[in-house]
Amino acid sequence: MNRRRLLLAAGGIGLTGASAWTLRNDFDDDGLPMQVEALDAPGSAAGEVRVPAADTVTVVDLFATWCAPCKRQMDELATVHQRYGEDVAMISVTNERIGGSLSRDDVREWWRRHDGAWTVGLDQDSDLMAALGASELPFLAVVEADGEVRWKDGNVTDAARLEREIDRALGGT
Amino acid sequence: MDRREYLRTATAVGFAGSVAGCAGLLDSNPNVTLDEPDREFDSEDLPYPAWGEQVPDVSLADPLTGETFHVRDADDPSVLTFFYSHCNSVCPVLISTVRDVHTHALNEGYADEVVFLPVTFDPERDDEERLRAYADEMNVDADADNWHFLRPDSEAEAEQVVEEQFGVMFERTEPEDMDMYMFNHASLTFLVNADGYVERAYRTESPDETEIISDLETVRE
């Protein structure tokens, strides 16, 4: 490739669907564990929570209220939540900044409407998103109690796949 | 190089740009506040308006107010990005990032010191009604004085302004599994200062809002 063509080409990086892992990949998992603001909502109590939980494997779900596929992800998460109960911690977090036309109540309303029944929190400065290197939504991670990320993936993950990853993390293999 | 070849080439070098830049004597510019970004190319060699260059001299309509917006004469720093509302992968991330920076400005009391200019390259579908619905869906406070969706009047103007002037390539596609057209497109978000010079061109699908907020703070000072 000649110089001019390379230069032209470089201006166009980030074409749809090409490289989902662009700049955010610079981050590593060092940011975990971290504190996240949890909301008072079904299955969730207001306050600061540690992500991951200190005593078990945690499923982290990154979502946004505008994200249509995130609704489908909620159904899969509900299945997983029912199966594991308290044995696995689960938290869904939106990185949307509260303000303007979005309130905490709007997030609670979204949570109720999609049958959330576990901890839901806010990541207003996208710290958790950065720590996980997520650049698309929904985004899921299975994290051990010490903060080690055992598995992570963008896009909708079905319950069976997520359960396999949880079992691997629980089994310590 | 024709368009198709361009798109193919662009995909192939998706990770160009992470190499350290050649810092030299020319890394200051009287028209901008931010330092030259760490990169391997000079602004003049890039197909889009880059650090230290003037933003294109274009006017576009804000379909929500009916006003015409002259991009170079914004009087305040501006954040521009390019999208189409039927996009379901990259654009929602771009728009939500810009939306979060906008909300930061509203929350922190500097909303009157910055304007947000998301430009659609799909004027055929992105009319006033559609953009209002999209703002609602994306939790954008589009009634705020400093948020202006901008819309070229025609497809021809979209190509002329978005592709030729801003260097944001887009190409219509007809996905087999969908009953509507979509676009392949580049992802570019610009931070422009009050004098109309580009301070930063964020060439990524997922711009870091913390970085934009921090850069914007420096430019506002």
Q: What is the pLDDT of residues A96-116, one digit of tens each?
A: 999 999 999 999 999 999 999
Distance CA B163, CA B82 (A): 10
Residue B106: name the closest of B62, B150, B133, B145 by CA: B145
B contacts of A13 (beta carbons < 8 Å): 10, 13-17, 186-187, 203-204
Residue B133, C-beta contacts closer than 8 angstroms, at least 6 positions apart? none
Q: Looking at the predicted structure, is the pLDDT value of residue A29 above 70?
A: no
How many other CB atoms sit within 10 Å of the CB of residue B105?
A: 25
pLDDT tens digits for B54-86?
A: 999 999 999 999 999 999 998 999 999 999 999
CB contact under 8 A, A14 and B204: yes
In a mutational test of the A interface, the residue from B98, B204, B206 whose CB has the highest number of chain A CBs within 10 Å is: B206
Residues of A with CB under 8 A from a CB of B: 1, 5-20, 22-24, 64-68, 95-102, 106, 125-126, 130, 135-137
- pLDDT of the residue at B29: 86
Distance CA A121, CA A38 (A): 4
DSSP state of A85: G
Q: What rounded mean pLDDT belongs to chain A?
A: 86
Interface pTM, i.e. ipTM: 0.80
Distance CA B129, CA B134 (A): 9
Q: Looking at the predicted structure, is the pLDDT value of residue A77 above 80?
A: yes
| Mean pLDDT of all residues in B207-211 | 90
Distance CA B71, CA B79 (A): 10
∠ Cα B151 B165 B135 (to 5°) = 25
Distance CA B39, CA B174 (A): 35
pTM higher than 0.90, yes or no?
no
Q: Are A73 and A115 in contact (CB under 8 A)?
A: no
Q: Which residue from B11, B104, B207 is facing A18, i.e. has the nearest CB? A: B11
CA end-to-end distance (rounded Å), chain A: 45
How many CA atoms within 13 Å lie on the side-chain side of B143?
4
∠ Cα B89 B43 B73 (to 5°) = 75
Q: How many angstroms away from the CA of A116 is the closest CA of chain B?
A: 20
Q: Which residue from A66, A95, A135 is facing B139, i.e. has the nearest CB? A: A66
% of residues, chain A, pLDDT over 70: 82
Distance CA B61, CA B152 (A): 7
- pLDDT of the residue at A31: 86
- pLDDT of the residue at A135: 81
**pLDDT band at B9; cut points 50, 70, 90:** very low
State whether residue B59 sits within 8 Å of chain A by CB: no
Lowest mean pLDDT among A120-134, A156-170, B24-38, B98-112: B24-38
**pLDDT band at A37; cut points 50, 70, 90:** very high
Distance CA B14, CA A26 (A): 15
Distances (CA, A) of A33 to A120, A135, A148, B114: 17, 20, 9, 35
% of residues, chain A, pLDDT over 90: 77
